[in-house]
Amino acid sequence: MSENSKHVIIIGAGPAGLIAAQELTQNGIQVDVFDAMPSAGRKFLQAGKGGMNLTHSDPFDIFVGRYRQRQDEMRPLLTRFDADSLRQWAHDLGFETFVGSSGRVFPTDMRAAPLLRTWLQQLKQAGVRFHMRHRWIGWNDANQLMFQTPTETVCHRADAVLFALGGGSWPHLGSDGKWIPSLVEKDIQIAPLKAANCGFECDWSDDFRAHFAGTPVKTVIARFTNLEGQLTERQGEFVITERGIEGSLIYVFAADLRDYLAEHGQVTLTLDLLPSKTESAIRAILNNRGSKSLSSQLKGKLGIDGVKAGLLKECLSKADFLNPNTLAAAIKALPLSLLRTTPMEEVISTAGGICFSELTEQLMLKKLPGVFCAGEMLDWEAPTGGYLLTGCFASGVVAADGIKAWLGAQNG
């Protein structure tokens, strides 16, 4: 390292921290990456199980809209590094991508591990130094960064620092929110962490749970009107769990359902179990069954059996299930009562984090010059589908830009 070269410490070896390291080393800056886990990118690998969804092919304005209340804050970040930029990043690493039928973007082999392995190799070849099993625990009296290792506490100083420590989901992979007290001590305003892209718990009967836990509920339409009176309607599928429901269709509604729960203490999601038929058509079929039972008519004429029939019996009284008219109405608008979100440590991502009001446009903490933040530890959220990952990358790139500008200004 030359006498005039600059040194940056990045804390957090997830996508936001790693892409910032890449951007900085390309500008001749020495980067040291610290992480509490034994290896880098653990949540990235977990997210890739079942198919590595990198980003989404939505038009830009629709893409930005997925960030809901934080779309104004996220727009400049995504303008700097958008979905096409992320696909180009993968291409530059030697991995082509394709757009799936849902608009989601995947590497052609669908796997996260080869992508991460190649990325880490290139970063190390570029001079990035990794320090694993180093948990950041705050600052000492000399304003040095303190890290707890398995054997000792060590201290380091750098010309600039990037925090990319994640939110509070999947803590066994490193995102445990333990960074919050150290920043609160510095008078940094932090919105409380809360579940995002989560499942919800229901009061299932023992019989329903025993028969259907783990069963997918396919081709349904879910509807919900949020606190602002906006109706969302989406077709898809979800899964019955031991405690409730989860899956891609539920994640679409998760933030609105969560906020409604917090406001009212209870929430109801409405399900259309048979989108292909109108209520009047269903009612006519159920009333024209002759000597057949309602259950056999449901299965034979409407194709409703198994878990869908189970949901109807679970959510309706016996009298309503046996009444063709109320049954027809329930098939088209089944009210499913949700009690609470699944525990935060089990959810895909969290909302809350460092408030954008604490940050400059280049993601530097106003109260801590030279300290930048990126990734899921910022107060934004997005649904699954590639938006989360793209947001993390974009914030890492913008923070790296900010670090370069900051270092350049210190030289001046």
> Both 185 and 282 in a single domain?
no
Q: Per-10-residue mean pLDDT for the chain, 412 residues long?
A: 75 98 96 97 89 96 95 98 98 97 94 96 98 97 96 97 95 92 97 95 97 97 96 96 95 95 96 96 90 84 95 96 94 97 92 97 98 98 93 98 95 70
Kindly report the pTM of this predicted structure.
0.91
CB-based contacts of 362, cutoff 8 Å, min separation 6 = 372, 398, 399, 401, 402, 405, 406
124 within 8 A of 118, measured Cβ to Cβ: no
Residue-level pLDDT at 412: 62
Does residue 1 fall inside a structural domain?
no
CB-based contacts of 32, cutoff 8 Å, min separation 6 = 7, 8, 9, 10, 128, 129, 130, 131, 156, 158
Last residue of a domain, one of 287, 319, 341: 341
Spatial CA neighbour of 386 closest among 377, 397, 398, 394: 394
What is the Cα–Cα distance from 362 to 395, expressed in whole angstroms?
Answer: 9
> Domains in the chain: how many in total?
2
- CATH number, domain at 62? 3.50.50.60
222 within 8 A of 254, measured Cβ to Cβ: no
DSSP 11-51: E--SHHHHHHHHHHHTTT-EEEEE-SSSSS-HHHHHHTTT-
Residue-level pLDDT at 48: 85
Tally the residues of the chain.
412
> Both 12 and 148 in a single domain?
yes
367 within 8 A of 404, measured Cβ to Cβ: no
> Both 86 and 206 in a single domain?
no
DSSP 58-82: --HHHHHHTTGGGHHHHHHHHHHS-
> Which DSSP letter does residue 342 get?
P
Q: Which domain holds residue 18?
A: 7-195+350-411
What is the Cα–Cα distance from 374 to 310, expressed in whole angstroms?
Answer: 45
